[in-house]
Structure 1
Amino acid sequence: MDSLTLLPAVDVKGGQAVQLVQGVDGTEKVFGDPLEAARRWQDAGAEWIHLVDLDAAFGTGSNAEAIGRVIDAMDLKVELSGGIRDEASLERALGTGCERVNIGTAALENPEWCEEIIRRHGDRIAIGLDVKGDKLAARGWTREGGNVYETLKRLDDAGCKRYVVTDVASDGMLTGPNYELLGAICARTESPVVASGGISSLEDLRRLRGLVPIGIEAAIIGTALYVGNFTLTDALAVARGEEITEHGDAQ
């Protein structure tokens, strides 16, 4: 079986690395300098990070300087997200040197533009599907969008190469991924899916790796890493298919 790619999350708010609970502004726990966080994950063996400008996502500001510093200093691949809603913000994001960008709100509010940039930029565009029930969440999860499966079909028809699927109810809660949602998305698209939200244990990563054959390509891990539920070294080993116990012992 192929390995599961892991993307440690570096969410930036007010110039600091943070983690939110269910994406709610004001619930953040602060974890310090985002560059130090990114360097820690790179040193532990990460090949990717999921880098988010939360202020841009909420429309309350920008962490462009901090984001640029992280991308410039790192040797790993970056999936960049947060506030990319028009041509100017897209070009700025692509110009940072990131590997790909994750588009969320724009997919709901400006579908024609979204379909155009999928055609133009191909694999450098991932579409973020942030899901509450069977509805999409927009504008930093503060507004409701349309039906997730109708949107998925439209984006699939436009040729979307990759989806980042977040179960909003699970995000930051350490309650486990929404496997039912992930399975339903994979059943409706042949494009690879990046799972996000709820990962709390090495067992969660084992189960997600078991979904690689149906289309789960990668997983974003955030809170569980920052609070020490497991180490990134162990998580990467599990993602490769090695047997590691919850206490980090090889079997």
Structure 2
Amino acid sequence: MPFTLYPAVDIRGGRAVRLVQGRASDETVYDDDPVAVAREFAAEGAQWLHIVDLDAAFDGEPRNRRLIAAIVEATGVPVQASGGVRSMRDLDDSVAYGASRVVLGTMALEEPSFVAAAVAAHGDKVAVGLDADGTTLKARGWTAGSGDLFDALHRFTLMGVVRFVFTDISRDGMLSGPNLARLGEGADATSAHVTASGGVSSLDDLRALRRAHPRVDGAIVGKALYAGRFSLQ
């Protein structure tokens, strides 16, 4: 099965940034032009891009959709968009602006019935993001607890979700390696595909993820690329 790398471009205040464990106070600005960053990843051979609207994730206002549309137009690479989808209109707009897949986070956890409606409307363009501290899920930019990881995997699988994006918050932005054990447990709990996020620091980590579980078929990579640990080439 192909294993897909998703270079991450996190957008806040119109700039490409990285946070450590989701803390807005621990921000590093990597570039004032997220489109240029995305174009560089595409030139290096990216097959997908993972674009996060951090402004929307924190305050619910989708301020960066035009930037996401510009990234789609500039790169021609499929975009997986995440951050701040709080309504069906937000989801529809994200797809209309060019996202090939939209990751539902807070809305999925706080109003699970929305997921069923989203899947009915957009099918496999919908993924659910499960961001966990241990097995406790976090919502609203990782500022609020919102249920159990395994309960959510079971519930959303029954609703027809075909992809989960699993983030181990304790590893995010830490370059400390992925949590392979928890990832495997999560993949065991669903029949859907799983994209891993958090902790990737080396090519060895990517090799380990490829072997982690048959349903783990991709990884989001952020800080390791920006820090020059390896490149997409």
Q: Indicate whether the TM-score tops 0.5.
A: yes
Which structure has the larger Rg over C-alpha atoms?
1
- For residue 144 of structure 1, what is the aligned residue in structure 2? 145
* Distance in 2, Cα, partners of 1:39 & 1:181: 33
**1:31 Cα deviation after fit:** 1.0
- For residue 173 of structure 1, what is the aligned residue in structure 2? 174
Sort the Cα spacing of 1:60 and 1:161 in 2 relative to 1 into closer, same or farther, 3 A. closer
The residue type equivalent to 2:3 in the other structure is: L
Query: Counterparts of 1:17-32 in structure 2 under 5 Å?
Result: 17-32=16-31
- Superposed CA deviations along residues 66-124 of structure 1, whole A, max 9, x for unmatched, are 22211221211100011011112111111111111000001111111112211222100
Other structure's SS at 1:97 match = coil
- Superposed CA deviations along residues 135-184 of structure 1, whole A, max 9, x for unmatched, are 10000101000011111111011111100000011000000011111101
Other structure's SS at 1:205 match = helix
| TM-score between the two structures when normalised by the length of structure 2 | 0.96
* Distance in 2, Cα, partners of 1:82 & 1:31: 19
Other structure's SS at 1:190 match = coil
| Paired-residue identity, % | 45
User: Is 1:36 paired with 2:65?
Assistant: no
Q: How many residues align?
A: 231
Work out whether residues 94 and 102 of structure 2, in 8 Å CA contact, stay in contact via their aligned partners in 1: yes
**1:209 Cα deviation after fit:** 1.1
* Distance in 2, Cα, partners of 1:211 & 1:183: 6
The residue type equivalent to 1:46 in the other structure is: A
Greater strand percent: which structure?
Answer: 2
* Distance in 1, Cα, partners of 2:190 & 2:223: 28
* Distance in 1, Cα, partners of 2:213 & 2:60: 37
Query: Counterparts of 1:92-103 in structure 2 under 5 Å?
Result: 92-103=93-104
| TM-score between the two structures when normalised by the length of structure 1 | 0.89
User: Is 1:71 paired with 2:82?
Assistant: no
- For residue 187 of structure 2, what is the aligned residue in structure 1? 186
| Unpaired runs of at least 5, structure 2 | none
Work out whether residues 57 and 139 of structure 1, in 8 Å CA contact, stay in contact via their aligned partners in 2: yes
